[in-house]
Amino acid sequence: MRLIRFISTGANWKHIALISVVVMVSLYTLSFFQFIPKWDSVRGYLPYRFFISDYVSDGQLPLWNPFQRLGYPGYCDLQSGVWYPVLWLLMLFGQYDITSLIVEVVGCFLIAGWGMYTLSNWMVGCKRTAAILGISYALSGFMVGSAQLMVFLIGVAWLPWILWSLLRLLEDGSLRYALWLALFLMCNITGASPAFTIILIYIIPAVSILSVWKKYKVKGYFLLLLKSSSIGFFALIILLLPFLQSFIDFYPYFNRTGKLAYEDMIINPFVWADYISFLFPYSVISTGEMFEVTDLSLRNGYIGLVCFFFLVLSITCRKYWSRWHAGLIVGCLISLWFALGDFSGIYRIAYHFPAFGLFRHPAFFRGYAMLCMLLLSGFAIKRIIAENYISRSAINLFLTFVFIASASAYWAWRHTSWESIRRSLHEIYTRFEFPAAGFESQLFLNSIILLLLAFLAVILRAAFKLNVYFLLLAFTAADLFIQTQLSAPTTLHHGIGYAQTKDYFHALEALPDHDQRFNGVALNELDESVGLIQTAGLDRNLSTFNRTISAVGENPMRFRAFDEARNNGQLQWVLQNPLFYFPDKICSVTDSLCAGCLFNTPAPADEIGDSVLIQNPQVEYNAYSVYVENPNAKSRLLLLNVNYHHLWKADFNGAELAVIHANDLVMGVRIPPQSKGEVRFKYQSPFLFAAWLISVATLIILLLVLLRTPQNATAHAVK
């Protein structure tokens, strides 16, 4: 109950419930478990989290994932959520599966809405306005359009919470908000795309310096702020201990520690053509040629017609201005400028900023602009709700919007055909995944929908004298519900039934913890299809779901050596062999491709040869084992076709063996002469478990302290 009281932050709980209901109903195809999320959600984040919970449920730390690309340390994956508290919470309810994924995705929308409510309620000072902004943010074009990118959703969801706690901290230097800031930053860093963390590294100092500069004459303020911030920063470091340890463990091997090539960094900008989505979001998911520069999941910048309307009013009418306007306008313009990517004229310069070349997709900057736009609109919404009167300037702007929508509908009608419009209607009715009728017909329908909503609002206001707040709230909910349904089949969910996918996970429960069937098969014969249980929609990382070894799979976190071996052809030599093998020849790149080769590995020739035995190769939790016999008078080199990492240890019949880096990619050990027994490879991160325990204990203590006496975080607006 204390947590609920904190989330509502002193406001009437009905506003939080209202946001939740509107969001859940608008996302009913997911929240009511009709369909499953799509693309990256089920191809990437679902298998990553499945692996994590699979290991945790068996009492194991999710250290080594043997199911993708010759194995990798899954706990080091910055986008797997392994140290994300929300994932820990979900795993308390059992194996992470398609149900968990849907709950987490919908949860991102709810966290976003509640966060915007909290931030705007404090900043704007109106609960009813905050409810409208919370709904608009949760169902914005960023959230609905980029729903497949859960690491983007997480970053946008926690952003208002971070800004709220930061601004409250800067207001009076309160330790309470320094600790909340640490908690929210932890959630962002461990759950969101690293791009959001990098941008926060720029935002937080900029906002802090500006605030401190304005208050430098306030007695004792700076020292109090410094003390609280230092404690908060220390708490954040403790909370991030397992995350930081993971980063340290994998940093020497990571393929993405340096800047991307500029050409790789600028893909998917939010270009001028995508600005159409501010009014007509359905039209930008078309196959129109002008949109091809950006992926369809990154084109939508819709904040709702109500909020966009009042954004214009808030900027153009001086009476709606507040002390926040200048900063929010600057933040909006800078974000939209960066979102243009290479079209901005400054991105090539920004590329040289620290850490700026480590992420792609400039379109994600639109999320910051949309947050600023919504907050700006709130000041005008608050005023008109308080007055319960529609001013002349608002009426004139409304007529301008009606004219724009009418002109757009007329232009689209002239450039399309009735047949195309009928086809678009059929695509909407059948929830067709990729609208193909064309931009013009989609623009026409989107314009007509907005005109109908506008005229319905006028009629309701005139006929029933509806309260302005209720009218705006109803319009916002209806508008965003409709726009969500129009985009949902393309960007939000597959047309694949939840029940079908749930049955797939039930079938996976019957599989062993590790499928040993393919441990003796050459890795180039394992293509994630033969012999594996499959289902529609989950077409990547099937080896992870089936718990079987693989040299393929989709994951942005890869060994640098693996990528280099793939590019120079050495990976093909490695894949000619099974999981364990004794090389019987020393090869060079000029030889014909064959199995049993050793290359670029210092080893005496008499350690290479046959007359050896391998039996019962096993994949275990964070370990591999095999029974071997070496009757020769010399030692023999045994190779394990798994990515080399310095944290691997090996023993033979309990006696430690030195692990060597072999074939530029994998690892091996020397089996003593005239010996037999079990070779066991074990992966361990010595300090990780302790770091995790300290982090969890700190998180629990902080939550108990902060929720013990919740304060009214929204009692007043800062004047």
**Among 98-112, 209-223, 434-448, whose mean pLDDT is lowest?**
209-223
DSSP at 260 = P
Q: With 50 as the cut, is the pLDDT of residue 16 above it?
A: yes
Q: Measured between alpha carbons, how far is 674 from 647 in angstroms, rounded to an integer?
A: 28
Structure tokens at 169: 């901290």
Name the token pair of 393: 């300037």
Enumerate long-range contacts of 575-578, CB under 8 Å, 24 or more apart.
Answer: 575/522, 575/523, 575/524, 575/551, 575/641, 576/522, 576/523, 576/524, 577/522, 577/523, 577/639, 577/641, 578/519, 578/520, 578/521, 578/522, 578/523, 578/617, 578/641
What was the pLDDT predicted at 79? 87
Going by pLDDT thresholds of 50, 70 and 90, the confidence category of residue 258 is: confident
Confidence of residue 257 (pLDDT cuts 50, 70, 90): confident
**Cα distances (angstroms) measured from residue 494 to each of 111, 508, 541, 708:** 23, 21, 18, 42
3-state secondary structure of 669: strand
pLDDT at 314: 96
Confidence of residue 339 (pLDDT cuts 50, 70, 90): very high
Q: Please count the helices (runs of H) and the strands (runs of E) in the chain.
A: 28, 15
719 has pLDDT over 70: no
pLDDT at 4 over 80: no
What is the predicted pLDDT for the residue at 389?
Answer: 84
| Per-residue pLDDT at 273 | 96
pLDDT above 50 (res 715): no
Q: Say if residue 589's pLDDT is above 80.
A: no
Whole-number average pLDDT of the chain: 93
Torsion angle defined by CA atoms of residues 101, 103, 109 and 111, in that order, rounded to the nearest 10 degrees: -110
* Helix H or strand E encompassing 181: helix 175-191
197: pLDDT strictly greater than 50: yes
When mean pLDDT is compared across 312-316, 367-371, 459-463, the lowest value belongs to 459-463
Distance CA 164, CA 121 (A): 10
pLDDT tens digits for 84-97? 999 999 999 999 99
CA atoms within 13 Å, Cβ hemisphere of 394: 21
Please give the pLDDT value at position 12: 66
* CA 52/CA 50 separation, integer angstroms: 5
Task: Report DSSP letters for 365-380, one per residue.
Answer: GHHHHHHHHHHHHHHH
pLDDT above 80 for 168 = yes
What is the three-class DSSP state of 719? coil
Q: What is the pLDDT of residues 39-53, one digit of tens each?
A: 999 999 999 999 999
Q: What is the pLDDT of residues 653-708, one digit of tens each?
A: 999 999 999 999 999 999 999 999 999 999 999 999 999 999 999 999 999 999 88
pLDDT exceeds 70 at position 443: yes
Determine the Cα–Cα distance for residues 556 and 361; give it in Å rounded to an integer: 14
Residue 689 tokens, joined: 């478990």
Per residue in 198-225, is it b (16+ CB within 10 Å) or e — as a string? bbbeebbeebbeebbeeeeeeeebeeeb
Q: Is the pLDDT of residue 290 over 80?
A: yes
- Closest residue by Cα to residue 125 from 718, 713, 717: 717
Residues 6+ away with beta carbon under 8 Å from 519 = 549, 578, 579, 580, 617, 618, 619
Mean pLDDT, residues 279-298 taken together: 94
Residue 125's identity, in one-letter code, is G
Q: Cα dist. 329→203, 311, 316 in Å?
A: 15, 10, 12
Q: For residues 98 and 502, is the Cβ–Cβ distance under 8 A?
A: yes
Longest alpha-carbon distance in the chain? 100
Amino acid at 303: I
Which residues pair with residue 666 across a beta bridge? 662
The pLDDT value given to residue 607:
86
DSSP code of residue 60: -
At 671 the pLDDT is: 97
Is residue 123 within 8 A of residue 88, CB to CB? The reply is: no
Tell me the C-alpha to C-alpha distance, in Å, between residue 602 and each of 72, 643, 663, 668, 681: 25, 18, 10, 12, 21
As a whole number of angstroms, the distance between CA 663 and CA 509 comes to: 36
pLDDT for 627: 98
Alpha helices, DSSP H only, in 575-622? none
Q: Quote the CA–CA distance of 67 and 482 in Å, as a whole number.
A: 41
Per-residue model confidence (pLDDT) at position 2: 52
What is the rounded end-to-end Cα distance, in angstroms, of the chain?
31
pLDDT of residue 462: 85
pLDDT of 710 above 70: no
Predicted confidence at residue 713, as pLDDT, reads 41
Distance (Å, rounded) from C-alpha 479 to C-alpha 453? 7
Helices (H), ranges, 77-140: 85-91, 98-124, 127-138
Compute the distance between CA of residue 659 and CA of residue 676 in angstroms, rounded to an integer: 18
Whether the CB-CB separation of 303 and 136 falls below 8 Å is answered with: yes
pLDDT of 30: 98
The pLDDT of 537-550, averaged and rounded, is 95
> By mean pLDDT, which of 409-423, 500-514, 585-599 is the weakest?
585-599
Domains and CATH numbers, the chain: 151-242+687-719 (no CATH), 570-683 (2.60.40)
CA-to-CA separations, 81 to 87, 151, 201, 608, in angstroms, rounded: 7, 9, 20, 43
Q: Which residues of 491-505 are buried (b: 16+ CB within 10 A; e: fewer)?
A: bbbbbbebeebbebb
The residue-averaged pLDDT of 407-413 equals: 97
Residue 631: count other Cβ atoms within 10 Å of its Cβ.
12
- Taking only Cα atoms into account, the Rg of the chain, rounded to an integer number of angstroms, comes to 28
Asked if pLDDT for residue 718 goes beyond 60, the answer is no
Give, for 29, the enclosing helix (H) or strand (E): helix 28-31
**Alpha-carbon dihedral angle through residues 29, 32, 33, 35, given to the nearest 10 degrees:** -10
**Count of CB atoms within 10 A of residue 718's CB?**
12
